[in-house]
Amino acid sequence: MHRKTILQAKEDLLQKKYSAVELTKAIYQRIESVEPKVQAYVHLTQDIALNQAQEADQKLAAGQDAPLLGIPIALKDLICMQDTRTTCSSKMLDQFIAPYDATVVSRLKKAGAVILGKTNMDEFAMGSSTENSWHHPTMNPWDLSRVPGGSSGGSAAAVAAQECLAALGSDTGGSIRQPANFCGVTGLKPTYGRVSRFGLVAFASSLDQIGPMTKTVADSALLMNVIAGNDPQDSTSADVKLPNFMNSLERNLSGLKMGIPKEYFTSGIDPEVEASVQEAIKTLESFGMKKVEISLPHLQYSVATYYIIACAEASANLSRYDGVRYGYRSKNSDNLLEMYMNTRQEGFGEEVKRRIMLGTFVLSSGYYDAYYLKGQKVRTLIKQDFENAFEQCDVIIAPNSPITAFKLGERVNDPIKMYLSDIYTISANLAGIPGISIPCGISKTNEMPIGIQLMSKHFDEESLIAVGHQFQLNTEHHLKQPPL
C-alpha cells in the first residue's frame, strides 16, 4: 500500500480494496521499518492521523468523496498545525505548540487528508542539505551516506522512501526542487502568491512559497487543486483565477517552445547531469516541442542577490525570537539585555546566526544602499530577463543542480560551496515564477537520481504540469525506487 501514488490509492479506497485506516497503518509500519535509517521525520501525529483515517472511512462508507479523502500526507516542520509541535528544526522552537492551522493545513483537512507528522528540515529553512537541523540530519534513501538536499530534505526523503504518499515542502531558493532532484521525486514550487503563506513560519517573506512533493506530476496537480487559491489572511496571496490543474494533464505539447538558457550549460556542471538533461530535452522534442536558445544575462548575479535579500529578510523576521513571548528562553541571565543575547546565542544554530549577521550587516546604516538597495535593483533585472525569455518560449528547461547529491559532511564547513548548491534554482524565487523538478536519469558513477527543472511564466503552473506529465507518461525515471 505504501508504494501507491495518491491517484492509485484514491481509486483503491473508492473501490474498497482497503480502508483509510489500513492504508494509514501500512504507512506507519513502513515508517517504523525504514525511519531508523532515513530519519525523515521529527515527530509523528499518529493519534490524530488514525482519527482522521476513521472519519475518512465513515465518509467513504456514506458514499461521500473529497479530493484527498483518506490520503496520508506529511508536512514540513515549519507549517503550523493546531495543537502539534512546529519546531522549524530549531532549539528555539523545540517546545512550541502551534495555536492554529496554516491555511494549507485547513485546506488539506477539508479535502479529507490524513496528516502523518512533521518532516525534518534545515533550521528555519536555511540550508541545502538538511544537516543544519537541530534534531538530527536526514539521510538520502538512495545512499544513506549522502544528503537528501535541503531545506525540505525530510519531505523529499519521506516521499522517496515511501514513508508517505506525498508531502508539503517550502521553497525559498530551491528548497523543494533541489531535494526533489537529489531524492528522485517530483517537486513543484508554485508562483509566489499562488499558495497562501498564512501559518508558514517565515524565513524570507518575499521569496518563501509552499508547494507539493509527490511521486508523480499528476499527484502534484491534484495537491495544487487543494492548496492553491487566494487567502484573505495572507496579504501577499494573489487574487487570480484558479484553474483546475488536473485539466492540464491532457494537454497536447505539439508546437510548445522550450527555452534552453545558455548560461545554465557552462563549466562546473557534472557531465552526467548535463547528458541526462540533454536526453530529456530530446524526449520533449519527440512530443513536437520546439527548442529555442535563450539568454538570462543577469543569472551570474543571482546567488549574491539572493543571499543579500534573503538574509536581510531573515534578520528582520527572526528578530521576534527574543525569549519573551514564546520559544526558548535562556536561564543564565542577570538582566534583560543578557537574556536577549543568551537566548539567541543558545537557541539558534550556526547557519542561522551566520545569516542573521549577514542580513543585519546589509541593512545597517551606511551599507543599505550599497547592498540591500542594489540587490533589489538586480532582482528586478533578473525578473526582466525571465519576462524577455518568455516572449520567445513557453517553458524554460534547465538542470536543478550542477551535481548529484553530495556526501554528508562534505560541505558543512564551506558555506560558499554550500550556497552554490542552489545556483540553478535561486533565480526562479527572485523572479517569483513557478518551477518543477522531475526525475530524468540516474548517474552511472554513484547511482544517484538526476532531475530536470522546468520553469514557466507567472501563474502558468499548467504548462509545467502538462510538460512534466507527458514526460512521465513516456519515461520511467520517476518509477525507479531507492534500494532501501
Nearest-angstrom CA–CA distance, 293 and 252: 22
241 is catalytic: no
Three cell numbers, residue 115: 496528516
Nearest-angstrom CA–CA distance, 297 and 157: 34
276 is catalytic: no
Beta-carbon neighbour count of residue 257 at 10 Å? 15
Pairing of β 395-399 and β 290-294: unpaired
* Contact by Cβ (8 Å): 221, 202: no
Classify 6 as helix, strand or coil. Answer: helix
175 is catalytic: yes
* Crossing angle for the helix pair 217-227 and 103-110, to the nearest 10 degrees: 110
- In 24-165, where do the E strands start and end? 41-44, 72-76, 114-119
DSSP string, 292-328: EEE--TTGGGHHHHHHHHHHHHHHHHGGG-SSSSSS-
Nearest-angstrom CA–CA distance, 382 and 427: 7
Three cell numbers, residue 140: 538520502
Pairing of β 72-76 and β 114-119: parallel
DSSP string, 368-426: TIIIIIHHHHHHHHHHHHHHHHTTT-SEEEEES-SSSPPBTTSSTT-HHHHHGGGTTTH
* Contact by Cβ (8 Å): 24, 59: no
Classify 74 as helix, strand or coil. Answer: strand
Beta-carbon neighbour count of residue 266 at 10 Å? 11
Of the candidates 106, 151, 248, 302, the residue annotated as catalytic is: 151
Phi-psi region of 50 (alpha: psi -120 to 50; beta: other; left: phi over 0): alpha
Of the candidates 76, 118, 189, 215, the residue annotated as catalytic is: 76
Of the candidates 89, 155, 170, 175, the residue annotated as catalytic is: 175
Classify 38 as helix, strand or coil. Answer: helix
Active site (catalytic) residues? 76, 151, 175
